[in-house]
Amino acid sequence: MGRLRRPSVVLLLLACLGCFRATLADDCYLVAPNVFRLGSKETVAVAVEGGADQQVRVSLQNLPNQRGVFFTETRRVSPRRPEIWDVGVELADLPDLTLGKAPVYVTLEVKCGSLWTRSAQVLVSPKSGEHYFLQTDKPIYHPGSAVKIRFIAMDETLRPSNKKFKVEIQNPQNVTVEARDFEPTTGPMLTHVVMLPEHTLLGEWKVVVKYGYKFEQNETVTFEVKEYVLPRFSVELSTVNYVPDNFTHVQCFVQARFLNTQPVQGVVQYRFGLKSEAGSEQWIGTGKEPKLLNDGRAHFRVDRESIARRLGAPLESLFRGRYRLVIEATVTEEATAAKQTARNEKAVFSTTPFVISTSKSQKSFKPGVKTYVIAQVTYLNGDAARGIEMQLTNTGPKNLSTKATTDNDGIATFPISTVINDDSLNLKVETIDKQFRQSEQAQVEFQLLKYEHTARGFIAIEKRDPKKKSRPGEIYEAVLFTNSPNKVSSVYYVVLSRGRILKAEVLEEGQITERGLKFTVTPEIDSQLSDSHLRSNRRSHRQRLHLRER
């Protein structure tokens, strides 16, 4: 079945500090995109600070002459009550320009009452904000069969799209054999059936959905067309997932059965070789004699000496290079001499069965604020390592040790409580699973850097456990900490998803160290990664949060 294609989702939480000054003055704050996606609904948020309402006008105009205003809207915005404008650029708004030939800009102008008028050039992208999911009912088809395809067309707000798109069916030679236009007027889900001829090209076919400006964007799903050949029997070959450095032999198991599940009578022959991380292979040995199948089963082993004798290099080189042991077993049926071959290349030469990644963790922390280290653990074949006990320790002067167990996704999280005088943290994350020797445990060391501008004061949103999942309708709650609260007048924030502002609010006013922040999670706020941007006195501060859908 074709993979269900989902758009990448990013939630951005933005807080704007009014200023670092003792008294408030009338002013406006603006949050706007730095790119307008052609034909998509974008958003602009404006907040007013001070004691008086302001007439705020937002307009868009064609950049070359700055006379062709194609969008304008004026609203009366009250202090501490942010407003959100829906804006957008359509192809009809740019009659004299050709997208794709050179960068295209429009002018975004905002007039904040009598206080100021400011403008900025904003790039127009020909890429739309629409999302297309496509899926086939099977991954493999035979000539003469029907390929059933499903499409889901959504706009930038995850509502059903009303934009036309094209579907092309391409054969293994990349030749389009069928093309059709679709207009999703009956709902977000559409279907299409492709009948493969009895005599057609074998190999990998493509379903291509083209959409957006001049239909230049595309999503693709592939399926394979194979000639149907009824096999007499099948062969399964299994072995270990990794080869430890103290191994004496690698055990392999073969099972051969007819389609009616009856065991095959016959013999099995095997050969073995090595495969580098770059993909190059070399066969280095074979079994001495065929193994007789017993009830369709047989087992054999590849000895350490057999590999070392034929390798021509120290065995340590296999572990340094993460080579794979490749096994190929061929079963010959006794009655008809029919042959079937199975292959296995899962066994990796490694001192540990685990791989630890901390790439999802932050690279810095703000002193006095709790943070989390995220460790993702996989086996050498890439599968998530579930239920593995982990430990985080500090290799520096700060006494820190905490344990966690990986979840079904192979993720373990470690909370770290910091204090205001903490310096950079030198951390080590390691597996401590009792099933393996100490020498087989995996570990990774990294550094969390201290936020650079603590002397000037900062604000930070305390994280919650990244493994905690949210679902639409729930209330997301967080705490915003203010370092040097006497410098902060007020705090605004906006919630964004996929580049669109979903919510703009103001937090509790006053010189407060901790402020509560909460909002309702909607279907658009279902991301796995969120980023926080906090602006104070024209300076930017960044941190990361985590929201995961359930």
Give the span between the Cα atoms of 243 and 38, in whole angstroms: 54
Judged against a pLDDT cut of 90, whether residue 220 lies above it is answered with: yes
Query: Do 428 and 396 share a structural domain?
Result: yes
Query: Do 308 and 367 share a structural domain?
Result: no
DSSP 320-367: HTT-EEEEEEEEEETTT--EEEEEEEEEEE-S-SEEEE-TTS-SEE-T
Examine residue 436 and state whether it is found in any structural domain, yes or no. yes
Examine residue 285 and state whether it is found in any structural domain, yes or no. yes
Query: What is the rounded average pLDDT of the residues 398-409?
Result: 89
Examine residue 394 and state whether it is found in any structural domain, yes or no. yes
Q: Does pTM top 0.85 for this prediction?
A: no
Give the span between the Cα atoms of 169 and 147, in whole angstroms: 11
Query: Do 342 and 248 share a structural domain?
Result: yes
Mean pLDDT of the chain: 83
Last residue of a domain, one of 333, 349, 365: 349
Confidence band, pLDDT 50/70/90 cuts, at residue 429: very high
* Higher pLDDT among residues 456 and 535, named by residue: 456
CATH number where 415 lies = 2.60.40.10
pLDDT at position 67, please?
A: 63
In the chain, the N- to C-terminal Cα span, in Å, equals 24
Last residue of a domain, one of 419, 441, 463: 441
pLDDT at position 99, please?
A: 60
With contact defined as beta carbons under 8 Å apart, do 434 and 512 qualify?
A: no
Name the least confident of 321-330, 433-442, 514-523, 524-533.
Answer: 524-533
Query: Do 437 and 383 share a structural domain?
Result: yes
Name the least confident of 153-162, 259-268, 329-338, 431-440.
Answer: 153-162
Query: Do 345 and 248 share a structural domain?
Result: yes
Query: What is the rounded average pLDDT of the residues 493-522?
Result: 78
Query: What is the rounded average pLDDT of the residues 19-36?
Result: 70
Name the least confident of 141-150, 299-308, 409-418, 471-480.
Answer: 471-480
Query: Do 430 and 388 share a structural domain?
Result: yes
pLDDT at position 244, please?
A: 92
β-strand partners of 74: 57
Examine residue 44 and state whether it is found in any structural domain, yes or no. no
CATH number where 283 lies = 2.60.40.1940
Report pLDDT digits (tens) over 230-248: 778 999 999 998 999 999 9
Report pLDDT digits (tens) over 128-159: 888 888 999 999 999 999 999 998 888 888 78
Examine residue 254 and state whether it is found in any structural domain, yes or no. yes
pLDDT at position 223, please?
A: 95
Give the span between the Cα atoms of 171 and 141, in whole angstroms: 13
Last residue of a domain, one of 329, 349, 369: 349
Element (H, E) at 19: none
Give the span between the Cα atoms of 136 and 138, in whole angstroms: 6
**Cβ-based burial of 493 (10 A; exposed 0-12, middle 13-18, buried ≥19):** buried
Query: Do 403 and 319 share a structural domain?
Result: no
pLDDT at position 381, please?
A: 83
Among 397, 385, 400, residue whose Cα is nearest residue 433: 385
Query: Do 403 and 332 share a structural domain?
Result: no
Token pair of 5, please?
A: 């294609």
Q: How many domains would you assign to the chain? A: 2
Judged against a pLDDT cut of 60, whether residue 195 lies above it is answered with: yes
Query: Do 330 and 251 share a structural domain?
Result: yes
The residue type found at 71 is: F
Examine residue 390 and state whether it is found in any structural domain, yes or no. yes
Tell me the three-class secondary structure of 148-203, residue by residue: EEEEEEECCCCCECCCCEEEEEECCCCCEEEEEEECCCCCCEEEEEEECCCCCCCE
Token pair of 416, please?
A: 């770290």
Report pLDDT digits (tens) over 160-178: 888 889 999 999 999 999 9
Judged against a pLDDT cut of 50, whether residue 546 lies above it is answered with: no
* Higher pLDDT among residues 419 and 269, named by residue: 269
pLDDT at position 22, please?
A: 36
Report pLDDT digits (tens) over 480-501: 887 776 666 677 888 887 778 8
| Percent of the chain topping pLDDT 90 | 45
Of the ranges 131-135, 475-479, 545-549, the best mean pLDDT one: 131-135
Report pLDDT digits (tens) over 273-289: 999 988 999 999 999 89
Four-residue CA torsion sign, 254, 260, 264, 270: negative
Query: Do 298 and 359 share a structural domain?
Result: no
Query: Do 330 and 379 share a structural domain?
Result: no
Domain membership of residue 279 as a residue range: 242-349
Judged against a pLDDT cut of 80, whether residue 324 lies above it is answered with: yes
Query: Do 364 and 311 share a structural domain?
Result: no
* Higher pLDDT among residues 160 and 257, named by residue: 257
Query: What is the rounded average pLDDT of the residues 30-43?
Result: 88
Query: What is the rounded average pLDDT of the residues 384-411?
Result: 90
Examine residue 191 and state whether it is found in any structural domain, yes or no. no
Report pLDDT digits (tens) over 519-540: 888 776 643 323 333 333 333 3
pLDDT at position 18, please?
A: 37
Examine residue 548 and state whether it is found in any structural domain, yes or no. no
pLDDT at position 93, please?
A: 84
**DSSP at 290:** P
Name the least confident of 95-104, 322-331, 453-462.
Answer: 95-104
